[in-house]
Structure 1
């Protein structure tokens, strides 16, 4: 198991997993649009993308994080927005390995925290995050205002 941070040369590999992730969430299968989105994010430094590679160096999982700032801590933190493991590679520890890698790397960079949201029905993800020491939010309520006639996701 090996983790790499993607550069523009890795976009094609990441896009395949990202497209599968979107299909998992019942969005249209669109590899080209997935590739363009990730390429734009990397080119414009909007996100950081990590791939977990199996022993044959094939990408089997990915994570995409977005930088943000915490005014109170006066430090950068990251939103883990996307985490996906290919169906054939599930239950092999790739998600845990990716999460541990992010914790170590971002902590060494001085980030304040990693924050994430997950569906209330996604018990497997909740169990993983809680086993890694993530704390369930109990103090704040989240609101969204969807703009420009976009559908909720």
Structure 2
């Protein structure tokens, strides 16, 4: 297995995984829009995308992270917003491997933390994150105001 930073060379593979990820969350199948969205993110540096390649070089998982800054720590951190493993590769340790590699990458860069959200019903993801040392937020309450409907 190999984790790579996605660039435009791998855009089609990333877009396919991202489209599958969106469909997993009951969004419409829209490969062209998925591709355009990721292309814009890569070109602007709005997000960082990583792919997990299997031993044959096929992309079987991806993660998309957005940079942010912690004002109190005065350091950069990353918000893991998207994580997806193709169905045939699930339960094979691929998500764990990808997450461990991301922790190493961002730790080496001096990032203050990696943050993420997951559905309350996604017990498998919660177990994975907790086994990697993530802690559920206890101090702050998150609010959202949806501006675009």
TM range (shorter): over 0.9
Matches within 5 A, 1:68-83: 68-83=68-83
How many angstroms apart in 1 are the aligned matches of 2:73 and 2:139?
A: 17
Counterpart of 2:13 in structure 1 is: 13
Deviation at 1:29, TM superposition (A): 0.2
List 4+ stretches of structure 1 deviating above 6 A. Answer: none
Please tell me whether residue 102 in structure 1 is matched to residue 102 in structure 2.
Answer: yes
CA shift at 1:82, angstroms?
A: 0.2
RMSD: 0.5
Is residue 129 of structure 2 the alignment partner of residue 136 of structure 1? no
* SS of 1:26 mapped into structure 2: coil
Map of 2:124 onto structure 1: 124
Q: Secondary structure at the match of 2:125?
A: helix
The alignment covers a number of residue pairs equal to: 149
Residue 26 (structure 1) aligned with residue 22 (structure 2): no
Q: 2:87 maps to what in 1? A: 87
CA deviation profile, 1:37-91 (whole Å, cap 9, x unmatched): 0000000000000000111110000000000000000000000000000000001
Secondary structure, in 3 states, of the residue corresponding to 2:49? Answer: strand
Q: Any unmatched runs of 5+ in structure 1? A: none
Tell me the TM-score normalised to structure 1 length.
0.96
Q: Deviations over 1:11-38 (max 9, x none)?
A: 1100000000000000000000000000
For residue 99 of structure 1, report the CA deviation from its aligned partner.
0.5
User: Which secondary structure state, in structure 1, belongs to the residue aligned with residue 72 of structure 2?
Assistant: coil
SS at match of 2:78: strand
Partner of 1:36: 36
Shift of 1:139: 1.0
Q: 1:120-148 deviations in whole A, cap 9, x for unaligned?
A: 00000000000000011011111100003
